[in-house]
Amino acid sequence: MNLKNIRNIAILVFFSLLLNIPMGQAQEKFFRAIGTPHEPEVAVSWNRYYTYEGVVDIMQKIAKAHPDLAKLESIGKSFQGKDIYLLTVSDFKSGDPSKKPAMYIDGNIHSNEIQGTEFSLYTAWYLTEMFDDLDFIRELLKDKTFYINPTINPDARNDYMNNPNTPHSPRSGMIVLDNDGDGKTGEDGFNDLNEDNHITMMIRKSPTGRYIKDQMDDRKLIRVAAEEKGEYEMLGYEGIDTDGDGEVNEDGIGYYDPNRDWGWKWQPDYVQRGAYKYPFSLPENRAVMEFVMNHPNIAGAQSYHNYGGMILRGPGAEEDKDTYNRDDVEIYDAIAKKGEEMIPGYRYLVVYKDLYSVFGGELDWFYGSRGVYTYSNELMVSYLYFHQNEGRGNQEEEMKVDRYLTFGDAFVDWREYDHPQYEKIEIGGFKKNFGRAHPGFLLEQDAHRNMAFTIYHAYHTPKISISDVKEENLGGGLKQITATIYNERLMPTHSSQDLKYKIERPDYVTISGANVVTGMVVNDVDFNKVEEQKVNPEKMLVKNIPGMNSVKVRWIVSGGGNYQIKVDSAKGGVAQWKK
């Protein structure tokens, strides 16, 4: 128990005496639920969302409450100058976190896709709070490091929450560009006409309209049959023609897409809509890139998005399909198929085949350029409402959710409004925080399940040990030492993309305390097929240590008694053996 806890308890005892409440009773107010930290040091409600300030507050509390498990740092600044905070979570008392195989997690690259932030935060919270309770988590944090970066788009996260928006805006950050090519930037964005902080829809009564209001539920607009007369026409999202060019809402925040800004097979805007100037021309992504380049121990990565209930892997574009070769796809498949079991309603998919084309996406950069096994989970899916697959934006189902589960909280009822261009209209529709974002009561469960998947992913980053060392006397004062280096997890120390392009240095297997005559990698121990390393055999360069497999390294040494063997792998960590 640390000093602070003692002090807290002392204060509690003092107050309980003051209020004349017996100490024992306070503890009996709770009964432990399996799977959740019981009476955590940092109390967080996981059924609501947090602004940037709220996120930073939780991160600071976690780092403060668990100084041996979590460290807070700013990895750079956003466009508007906010710090991008990252938590390093590992058992700092056992080993250097920057030498352990690491899992990188971020969220919110698209500013309206908010819950990746809470899911990331939940992971940091869960790992630190459960460390004392569970052997599994203790061992995990002894072996691994988690780099948790809850929002890599803090400016526009706050804009989404604090300012009027649709569920889909803003997707970009807060740099304002000229979207309509008229030389002016951001001159005609949304207008929150009814001042409710949501951008909903505008409709108008019109003799040529093709919609009517549903008689059973007048919030719902339905399209009439081809030969029938309608009553309403749709006018799009709330807004006015601010710049007088005859268009409404044609040039607001952005537009660019931070997930088209990464340096693998990057393409310009006319090929890949949303690309900015060149890879990492957005400061937020640049900060992440620099962090990743400086942490070669990152072996797995997750970038949370919404929507759709998907575990996505690359490639983002058909043109890049050869990058994902069979050996690596086998590992992607093994991990993600387990994920499908862990997160009901989520499916394992490939971006270019099952979704749409993306050039310059984050997950492709992590894998293509750095050789890191990376998924993007598309959080939230309609399956979570009634355990049926009704698809995205199903009005029927969403109305049902709002009637029976959220009791009208999700919808802005139609109200009349005098519009400067359209005159008498009605404004209403679903709120920005419905549809893509989980309703509060579904948030914690899905956070836990997705975290469990990233823990599984992290668990299968390489784990290296020197499992066996054999000595054989060759006569003439020579000895042959054969060391078996075992990797007891799914991922190799070098993905096959990494091997193909020599992205990361080889693994070093070093012997010290012996007089080395020569060294070799043993490819086939039974038939003595070996590859000699003529230069500097004390430090053998091993290209890769495959997953669930081993590598044998052999030296011929003269003399020597006590020697040591050390494995040093950028993504596989460090292992030692002593005679």
Cβ of 97: how many Cβ atoms within 10 Å?
A: 20
Q: Does 319 bind other proteins (CB under 8 A)?
A: yes
Q: Does 182 bind other proteins (CB under 8 A)?
A: yes
The DSSP secondary structure of 420-462, one letter per residue, reads: TTTEEEEEEEE-TTSSSSPPHHHHHHHHHHHHHHHHHHHHTS-
The three-state DSSP-derived secondary structure of 333-365 is HHHHHHHHHHCCCCEEEEHHHHHCCCCCCHHHH
Supply the minimum distance, in Å, between the C-beta of residue 351 and other proteins: 15
Residue with smaller CB distance to other proteins, 203 or 358:
358
Size of the site for other proteins (CB under 8 A): 38
Nearest to 233 by CA among 250, 261, 208: 208
Contact 506, 543 (CB under 8 A): yes
Contact residue for other proteins among 83, 180, 233, 397 (CB under 8 A): 180
| CA gap 410, 408 in Å, rounded | 6
Q: Does 186 bind other proteins (CB under 8 A)?
A: no
Q: Does 271 bind other proteins (CB under 8 A)?
A: yes
Contact residue for other proteins among 147, 348, 365, 375 (CB under 8 A): 365
Query: Segment 292-311, which members bind other proteins (CB under 8 A)?
Result: 293
| CA gap 201, 186 in Å, rounded | 20
Residues in a beta bridge with 105 = 148, 302
Contact 289, 359 (CB under 8 A): no
Supply the minimum distance, in Å, between the C-beta of residue 26 and other proteins: 55
Q: Does 324 bind other proteins (CB under 8 A)?
A: no
| CA gap 343, 449 in Å, rounded | 6
Nearest to 364 by CA among 281, 284, 266: 266
Query: Segment 16-55, which members bind other proteins (CB under 8 A)?
Result: none
Residue with smaller CB distance to other proteins, 269 or 390:
269
Contact residue for other proteins among 57, 269, 390, 538 (CB under 8 A): 269
Please count the residues of the chain.
579
Q: Does 390 bind other proteins (CB under 8 A)?
A: no
Contact 425, 417 (CB under 8 A): yes
Residue with smaller CB distance to other proteins, 339 or 537:
537
Supply the minimum distance, in Å, between the C-beta of residue 531 and other proteins: 15
Nearest to 568 by CA among 495, 496, 511: 511
Q: Does 534 bind other proteins (CB under 8 A)?
A: yes
Which range binds other proteins by CB under 8 A, 12-20, 201-209, 412-420, 503-511?
A: 503-511
Q: Does 440 bind other proteins (CB under 8 A)?
A: no
Contact 217, 404 (CB under 8 A): no
Q: Does 353 bind other proteins (CB under 8 A)?
A: no
Q: Does 243 bind other proteins (CB under 8 A)?
A: yes
For residue 41, the one-letter residue type is E
Contact residue for other proteins among 105, 299, 503, 540 (CB under 8 A): 503
Cβ of 245: how many Cβ atoms within 10 Å?
A: 14
Contact residue for other proteins among 127, 288, 289, 310 (CB under 8 A): 289
Q: Does 574 bind other proteins (CB under 8 A)?
A: no
Q: Does 447 bind other proteins (CB under 8 A)?
A: no
Residue with smaller CB distance to other proteins, 229 or 277:
277
Question: Radius of gyration (Cα) for the chain, nearest Å?
Answer: 28
Binding site for other proteins (CB under 8 A): 177-178, 180-183, 243-246, 263-264, 266-271, 277-281, 289, 293, 319, 357, 365, 368-369, 501-506, 534-535
